[in-house]
Amino acid sequence: MSLSFLIIVFINVYAKIPENIKVGIYFGPSAPNSADLEFDGQQVTVNKADVTEELIYTSKQGLIKVNNTEYRGNIIINKDKDNNLIVINEVDLEDYVASVIAKEMSPGFETEALKAQAVCARTYAAANIGKHSQYGFDVCATIHCQVYGGTACEHEKTTSAAQQTSGEILTYNDEIIEAVYFATSGGHTESSEYVWGSQIPYLKGVNDKYESSECYGSRWTKEVSPERIGQIMADKGYQIGNVKDIEILKKTPDGVVYELSVIGDKGEKVFKNESCRTFLGDILLSQAYTVNRSSKASITTYSGKANPEDVYILSADGTVKLNGDSLYLMGTQTIHIDIPESSGNFVFNGRGYGHLVGMSQNGANSMAKAGFTYDDILKHYYTGTEIAKIEH
């Protein structure tokens, strides 16, 4: 294979990206009523009732524990307009990236995959400075942004990956991209318009041929009863009654469902784009699936499993459709096969784990194993992008 030569473009426009990033650790209605801090041999408890103005805590050692989790940099504590406690970690961008890599990708992955993840994590952070400005910080520490866990998540390999790619971000037409990523594609990523409804030129579906079929979520099956689906619909406020059918209305050539209808005896609900994955909560691993009712028997052919209701039998009397609860095979003796009762459940057979847009993390690891460098990996998953260098 031919490995591309890495060219890093230095672009002064990115000088506006700060050296430190503010990460929201606690905020909103789920924030605790107090925070226990440990630093420089001191122990401090901050109760939200006592916070009347912004508090900033620094450590001579550069390390502060908040509720037993250690962070680099400073800790800022404030309250929002609803009187909820806000706890922020102001940390060096590269230290943030090193921690994020280990939470978002296994430190056991190949070095070049970890370096690709480092660039993605840094790019996401750079593109989302001020995303949570209403709370006084840039990004949060959860899956809403990127998962961040302080020093406990740092690993020798992830720290090295951050250092080796220090300051590098992905751009398209001299603009910072949204470097989204996910776990497993099952063989092909998908274009953004089928997931989020917006066509983004660098988020195009690509062949993921190097990704191992042994990765978690590469192939999966989920079986869900009509009753459970009906309850989920009702909990979401969709009063469609008893679920009778699920009909896929539109899918991409690579099998990603981007419009479907859940049909009940009192109405139907149409879902589009990413909601075709999330309409059942977290049951479905991706949007790439087929859906059928559970069949009365399992028949395996050379091309895979077949639904007995769609099976035709060639006999001396001609071709007939399999029907009834029993199958008789006539030969030197009669063989009787009972076909079990169908559960009536909906069976989803799919591939991939996640939204399928951008970089497949398992695919990146497989590409690294195949000898590709991190810039090869990034340019494969993010069409037409370049690597730029942040100058502070």
Mean pLDDT of 367-387: 97
- Is the pLDDT higher at 324 or at 261? 261
Q: Cβ distance 189 to 208 under 8 Å?
A: yes
The predicted structure's pLDDT at residue 344:
87
Who wins on pLDDT, 319 or 55?
55
- According to the model, what pLDDT value does residue 17 have? 75
Note the pTM of the prediction, 2 decimals. Answer: 0.81
Alpha-carbon gap, residue 57 to 125, rounded angstroms:
23
Q: How far is CA 293 from CA 243, 254, 307, 344, in A?
A: 12, 22, 9, 6
Note the pLDDT of residue 312.
61
> Average pLDDT for residues 316-340, to the nearest whole number?
55
**Residue-wise pLDDT tens digits, 198-237:** 999 999 999 999 999 999 999 999 999 999 999 999 999 9
pLDDT score recorded for residue 390 = 81
CB 39 within 8 A of CB 63: yes
Each residue of 129-157: pLDDT tens digit? 999 999 999 999 999 999 999 999 889 99
Percent of the chain with pLDDT over 90: 79
pLDDT band at 55 (very low <50, low <70, confident <90, very high): very high
Q: Is 256 helix (H, G, I), strand (E, B) or coil?
A: strand
What are the residues whose beta carbons fall under 8 Å from the beta carbon of 371, sequence distance 6 or more?
Answer: 1, 3
Give the side-chain half-sphere CA count within 13 A for 138.
Answer: 22
What's the number of CA atoms in the CB half-sphere (13 Å) around residue 215?
27
56 backbone φψ class: left, alpha, beta (φ>0; ψ -120 to 50): beta
